[in-house]
């Protein structure tokens, strides 16, 4: 298990690329934890999250349960906006709401 005193974008990049070379895709947080790399999960989370790093490195992720939820949110937004309602999607993962419709929680 590797523990970095201070994570940098470069050290995250290097560790992720080494892991991705063996997987041929971007790892999930649970896969990284199974590899004993919770330290890397924490560093990734503090610096943008798994999706952002997957995009940054150009390494595709497998479709996840979270992706299914986000797909559903996008579909709901389309239906609500087509009905003339105002919809704001929360940017935060632990926000008090997923969708704000007509400024109502």
What would the DSSP string read from start to end of 2-36? ---SS--HHHHHHHHHHHHHHHTSBPPHHHHHHTT
Tens-place pLDDT, residues 76-97: 999 999 999 999 988 766 778 8
Q: Is residue 97 part of a domain?
A: yes
Task: Please tell me whether residue 79 adopts helix, strand or coil conformation.
Answer: helix
Whether residues 45 and 71 fall in one domain: no
CB 27 within 8 A of CB 19: yes
Q: How far apart are CA 97 and CA 105, in angstroms?
A: 7
Within a domain: residue 32? yes
Q: Are residues 69 and 53 in the same domain?
A: no
What is the per-residue burial (b if ≥16 Cβ within 10 Å, else e) of 43-68? bbeeeeebeebbeeeebebeeeeeee
Query: Do 51 and 71 lie in a common domain?
Result: no
- The pLDDT confidence band at residue 70, using thresholds 50, 70 and 90, is confident
Point out which residues pair with 87 in neighbouring strands. Answer: 101
pLDDT of residue 46: 92
Q: Kindly state whether residue 89 falls inside one of the protein's structural domains.
A: yes
Which range marks the domain in which residue 92 is found? 65-101
**What does the pLDDT look like over 22-61, one tens digit per residue?**
888 999 999 999 999 999 999 999 998 898 999 999 999 8
Residue 50 lies in a domain: yes
Domain-embedded: residue 3:
no
Number of domains into which the chain is organized: 2
Phi, psi of 73 (to 5 degrees): -60, -45
Does the global pTM surpass 0.85? Answer: no
pLDDT at residue 3 greater than cutoff 70 = no
Does 53 share its domain with 13?
yes
CB atoms within 10 A of CB 95: 10
| One domain for residues 53 and 89 | no
Residues 42 and 70 in one domain: no
């Amino acid at each position: 298990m590797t523990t970095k005193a201070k994570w940098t974008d470069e050290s995250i990049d290097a560790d992720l690329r080494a892991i991705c070379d063996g997987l041929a895709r971007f790892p999930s947080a649970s896969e990284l934890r199974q590899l004993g790399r919770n330290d890397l999960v924490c560093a990734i989370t503090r610096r943008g999250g798994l999706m952002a790093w997957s995009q940054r490195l150009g390494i595709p992720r497998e479709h996840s349960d979270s992706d299914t939820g986000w797909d559903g949110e996008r579909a709901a937004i389309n239906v609500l906006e087509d009905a003339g309602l105002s919809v704001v999607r929360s940017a935060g993962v632990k926000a008090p709401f997923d969708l704000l419709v007509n400024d109502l929680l």
